[in-house]
Structure 1
Amino acid sequence: MLKGIDHRLNSDVLGTLRAMGHGDTIVLVDRNFPSSSMAKSTVHGSPLFMENLSAADVAKAILSVMPVDNFVDDYALAMEVVGAPDETPDVQKEVEAALKTAEGSDKALTKIERFAFYEAAKNAYAIVQTGETRFYGCFIFKKGVIAPDQLFEV
C-alpha cells in the first residue's frame, strides 16, 4: 500500500500511467471489447487488467493520478451507441460524472463511432480491460500535464 495512491491501481497500471506522456491516450474498455487483439498494436503491447471493477471505478482510480488534456475538445471519448448516437447509457453517465469530479469541469464526454473507436484504441498507449459488464463501457482519455506549482516537493 502507498499513501495517497488509490489502492485499486495495480503496479502494471501505475507504471504505465507514469510512463505515458502529454497527449498519450489510455483506453478503458468493458469485458466484451477485444482487448487482447487490439492491445497488440498499442505502445504497451498487451492489455492491462482491472477486472474486478466497473468502468466508473477504474476511471475514478486512474483520474486520481492522471490529469487529462482539457486544452483539447477530445480529451475524453466514449463509444457511441450503434444506431442511437445521441443515447447516453448509464455507464457513460457514471464515467462522465467521475471525469467531471476529478477535473472540476463540466465538459461532457465526446462520442465516437464504434469503428473509429477501434482505430483510436489501436493507436493508444495502452488498453485497460475493466470488469464492466454493461454495453458501451468503452472510453479513451488523453493525458494532460501537471503544472509546476502542482508538483509535490521531495
Structure 2
Amino acid sequence: MLKGIDQRLSAEVVHVLMLMGHGDDLVICDVNHPAATIAAETTYGRLVDMAGCDIPTAARAILSLMPLDTFVPAPVRRMQVVGNPEGVVPIFGRMQAVVDAAEGRRVEIEALERFAFYEAAKRAFAIIRTSDSGPYGCFILKKGVVDLAEL
C-alpha cells in the first residue's frame, strides 16, 4: 500500500492510469458488459478487474487520481437504455453525482446507442470491470491534463 492512494486501486489499475495520456478513454463497466471481448481490442489489450466495487465506488477511486478532460464538451459517455434512448436508470444519477464531486463542477455526460458505445469502447485505452450488477453500468471517461509544477 501507498499513502494517499485508495486501497481499492490495485497496482494494475494505477499502472493503467499512469500509462494513459491526455485524451485517452477509460471504460468502467458492470459485470454484464462484454468486457473481456472488447478489452482485447483496446490499447492495453486485456481486461482489468476491480472486484468488490460497484461502479460509483470504482469511479470515485479512479477519479481521485485521474482528472477528466476539460477540452471536450462531454468527457463522460454512457450507454443509452435499449429501446428507450431517453430512459433513465438509477446508475446514471449516481455516476453524475460522482463525476460532479470529483471535478467540483457539473460534468456533461453524453449518451451513446448500445452498439456505438461498444465501438467507442474498442477504441479506449483500457476497460475496467467492476462487480456492479448493472443494468447500464457502462461509462467511458476521457482523461484530462494534470497541472503539475515544473521539475
The equivalent of 1:12 in structure 2 is 12
User: In the aligned structure 2, how far is the partner of 1:131 from the partner of 1:77?
Assistant: 20
What pairs up with 1:16-55 in 2 under 5 angstroms? 16-55=16-55
User: In the aligned structure 2, how far is the partner of 1:90 from the partner of 1:119?
Assistant: 24
Count of matched residue positions in the alignment of Structure 1 and Structure 2:
151
User: In the aligned structure 2, how far is the partner of 1:83 from the partner of 1:108?
Assistant: 22
The equivalent of 2:146 in structure 1 is 146
CA RMSD of aligned residues (A): 1.3
The amino acid of 1:19's aligned partner reads: L
Alpha-carbon deviation of 1:107? 2.5
Cα deviation code 1:116-145 (max 9, x no counterpart): 000000010000001110210000000000
Find the residue that maps to 1:62 and give its secondary structure: helix
* 2:106 paired with 1:95: no
User: In the aligned structure 2, how far is the partner of 1:43 from the partner of 1:107?
Assistant: 26
What pairs up with 1:46-125 in 2 under 5 angstroms? 46-125=46-125
User: In the aligned structure 1, how far is the partner of 2:106 from the partner of 2:131?
Assistant: 27
Cα deviation code 1:67-90 (max 9, x no counterpart): 010220131011010111112211
Q: TM (normalized to structure 2)? A: 0.95
User: In the aligned structure 2, how far is the partner of 1:58 from the partner of 1:72?
Assistant: 23
Alpha-carbon deviation of 1:44? 0.6
The amino acid of 2:69's aligned partner reads: D
User: In the aligned structure 1, how far is the partner of 2:32 from the partner of 2:139?
Assistant: 13
Alpha-carbon deviation of 1:148? 2.8
Q: TM (normalized to structure 1)? A: 0.94
- Comparing 105-114 with 137-146, greater Cα deviation is found at 105-114
Find the residue that maps to 1:148 and give its secondary structure: coil
Query: 5+ unaligned residues in a row in structure 1: which ranges?
Result: none
User: In the aligned structure 2, how far is the partner of 1:131 from the partner of 1:51?
Assistant: 5
The amino acid of 2:124's aligned partner reads: A
Alpha-carbon deviation of 1:106? 1.1
Query: 5+ unaligned residues in a row in structure 2: which ranges?
Result: none
The amino acid of 1:57's aligned partner reads: T
User: In the aligned structure 2, how far is the partner of 1:99 from the partner of 1:121?
Assistant: 19
